[in-house]
Amino acid sequence: MFDMEKTIVVALGGNAILAKDASYEAQKVAINRTAKSLARLVRKGNRLVITHGNGPQVGNLLLQQLAADSSSNPALPLDTLGAMTQGSIGYWLANSLANELTDIKPSIATVITQTEVSSDDQAFNDPTKPIGPFYSESEVAQLRQGNPNFQYKDDSGRGWRRVVPSPQPIRIREIDTIKKLVNNQVIVIAGGGGGIPVTYRNGQLVGVEGVIDKDLTSAKLAEQLQADELLILTSVDHVFLNYRKSNQIELDNLGIEDAEVLISNGELGAGSMLPKVMAAKSFVEKRPHARAIITSLDNLSQNSDEQIDGTIISNVSTGKVL
């Protein structure tokens, strides 16, 4: 076995698992590539907790459920689909990591993770997270007859999609189990898809229809785990000012105040970099001696973990954004 150095929560973006091809074979190729990069962190002696997205996988599973839906074989609810994809993606990742680390032979465990949310979260009054396929307006009218509680919204003129709440994570239910595994040198895969949203109703813990942002859950997990680092992997190497414009500027370092300016001034895309910077800021605020890094999977594979080329968010203000 190996000596441990840092505890790192690694949040994998969708490109780490799925490209355009949704087949099992294509996803396995992507995960094998991801495992090679993660293995470098393991060989440095770090404790790893790996989180991941599951949006495309849940969407595909939802389509399969709807296609087979009948009175004798009813479609399963969204929280259960989240659990199913946590299991399948966790299995793929664990398998690929084991094959990549045959010299070390580490213990690897996937934890089906429940993320507690508040039943009073305002997100339940205004569902915004689109899931599943696009529909025409006439198809939506028919769908509402079968499921009157489902809500649908027009998605930028491209068609109508079902929308579900995206509540804020309060705590990771399995955090004590995850801590014990990490302390016993187990590589942990947890918090898949932001975790299964659960809340208390009439004194009972129940799953709810919703999708929690995976990066915010990763930050909450890193906070509760008292991790040394939150590593958010996405499709770009840095956070940018004026992204994709002629005056684009890459940001190497951000302090908490800098991140707050970026969040509040509308500089970041709501569906892309915004939740990542919010997650990084939240983690560093709670763990002021730790740091968060936002970068690409390619950068991780090309650099040592001490010299990762990306945007580092820390408790030290740079003044670049201000």
Residues labelled as active-site residues: 14-15, 129, 214, 276
Q: Is the dihedral of CA 171, 172, 174, 176 positive or negative?
A: negative
Pick the closest to residue 212 from 187, 192, 195 (CA basis). 195
Beta strands at 129-135 and 160-164: parallel, antiparallel or unpaired = antiparallel
Q: Exposed e or buried b for every residue in 51-73, given b needs 16+ CB within 10 A? A: bbbbbebbbbbbeebeeeeeeee
Number of residues written out for the chain: 322
Distance of CA 221 to the CA centre of its chain: 11
Q: How far is CA 261 from CA 185, 280, 286, 287, in A?
A: 38, 14, 18, 20
Dist. CA 63–CA 81, nearest whole Å: 11
